[in-house]
């Protein structure tokens, strides 16, 4: 039995050949347009800047952080790349549709979508503090918002038979979250959306997810429950013995967004230093 096709052998009927883009080192996204949600600050900003450094023109999405989004876009323009900002409350389908239409017509078709915007329920320190309002807030952003973005951008990508979508998930899909159960539920939802749209958009649009664990950010350090003792416990239970930094995760996002992962779709890459590894 032959498990592979020899060079020059005819393509099996129905098989899709996906040519790899020829790019120079450091230019994986040259000639492409990328959109990053929640890119005015934090992790989203780092992703947007990294895409630009690799040659992408970037759409910086924001909802409330207009000044910060404009600053991100200006930094990208200073690299010699095109950049624009677009506002949308991703929990409202009408705003997502309008934003994507505007971008598509005025800036160009989106080749790469990074769904970074999310609600991690930072203000909730225990499952005992859960309320219906807090549940609705997290599920609306993480599930509805991610779905609307995938649906609107991905369907247009599918029409062009080209595109890549990366969703930011979390290692709570393995560990759960006793602090905020609705957050874990929302990230399970993101994983479900990733797999569902990977199938729906195949073979032309790839959809994958990255699942970071604890990231050493201002938001994490500001949490009342992030005590020195808690940090030590997390480090002690992480095989790599450190809290990851956002800069550690950005390369994983770029890997999934580029042709480096050309034969991956419907996957989730957990990047938490081994914290969620069985037996850790």
Q: What percentage of the chain exceeds 90 in pLDDT?
A: 76
Residue 135 covered by a domain: yes
Query: pLDDT tens digit string along 117-137?
Result: 987 776 777 788 889 999 999
The sign of the dihedral angle between the CA atoms of 179, 185, 188, 194 is negative
- Look at residue 7 and tell me if it is in a domain: no
Single out the residue of 36, 151, 37 nearest to residue 94, CA to CA.
Answer: 151
Structure tokens at 245: 């930094």
Arithmetic mean of pLDDT, 140-154: 97
The answer to whether residue 257 is domain-embedded is yes
Domain-located, residue 11: no
Residues with catalytic function = 183
Mean pLDDT of the chain: 91
Q: Band of the pLDDT at 272, cuts 50, 70, 90?
A: very high
For 177-186, what is the mean pLDDT? 91
User: Per the structure, how many domains does the chain have?
Assistant: 1
Exposed e or buried b per residue across 46-84, where buried means at least 16 C-beta atoms within 10 angstroms of its C-beta: bbbbbbbbbbbbbbbbbbebeebbbbbbebbeeeebebb
Domain ranges, residue 251: 33-271
Q: Note whether residue 142 is domain-resident.
A: yes
Looking at residue 166, which CATH number applies to its domain? Answer: 3.40.50.720
At 208, is the secondary structure helix, strand, or coil?
strand
Determine, yes or no, domain membership for 122: yes
Distance between CA atoms of 140 and 88, rounded to whole angstroms? 14
Q: Is residue 48 part of a domain?
A: yes
Q: Has residue 166 got a pLDDT over 50?
A: yes
Is 59's pLDDT higher than 80? yes
Q: CA 245, CA 47: separation in Å to the nearest integer?
A: 13
Q: Quick check: is 18 in a domain?
A: no
The whole-number pLDDT of residue 217 equals: 86
């Amino acid at each position: 039995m032959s498990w592979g096709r020899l060079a020059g052998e005819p393509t099996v009927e129905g098989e899709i050949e996906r040519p790899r883009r020829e790019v120079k080192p450091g230019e994986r996204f040259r000639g492409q347009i990328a959109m990053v949600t929640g890119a005015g600050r934090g992790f989203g900003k780092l992703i947007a800047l990294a895409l630009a450094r690799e040659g992408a023109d970037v759409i910086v999405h924001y909802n409330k952080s207009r000044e910060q989004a404009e600053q991100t876009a200006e930094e990208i323009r200073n690299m010699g790349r095109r950049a624009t900002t677009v506002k949308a409350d991703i929990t409202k389908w009408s705003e997502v549709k309008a934003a994507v239409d505007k971008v598509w017509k005025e800036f160009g078709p989106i080749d790469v979508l990074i769904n970074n915007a999310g609600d991690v329920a930072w203000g909730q320190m225990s499952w005992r503090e859960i309320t219906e309002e807090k549940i609705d807030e997290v599920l609306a952003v993480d599930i509805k918002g991610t779905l609307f973005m995938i649906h609107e951008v991905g369907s247009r990508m599918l029409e062009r038979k080209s595109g890549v979508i990366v969703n930011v998930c979390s290692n709570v899909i393995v560990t759960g979250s006793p602090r905020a159960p609705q957050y874990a539920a929302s990230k399970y939802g993101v994983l479900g959306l990733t797999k569902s749209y990977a199938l729906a958009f195949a073979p032309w649009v790839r959809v994958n997810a990255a699942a970071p664990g604890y990231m050493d950010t201002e938001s994490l350090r500001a949490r009342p429950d992030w005590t020195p003792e808690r940090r030590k416990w997390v480090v002690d239970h992480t095989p790599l013995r450190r809290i990851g930094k956002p800069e550690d995760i950005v390369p994983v996002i770029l890997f999934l967004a580029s042709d480096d992962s050309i034969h991956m779709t419907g996957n989730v890459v957990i990047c938490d230093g081994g914290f969620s590894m069985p037996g850790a």
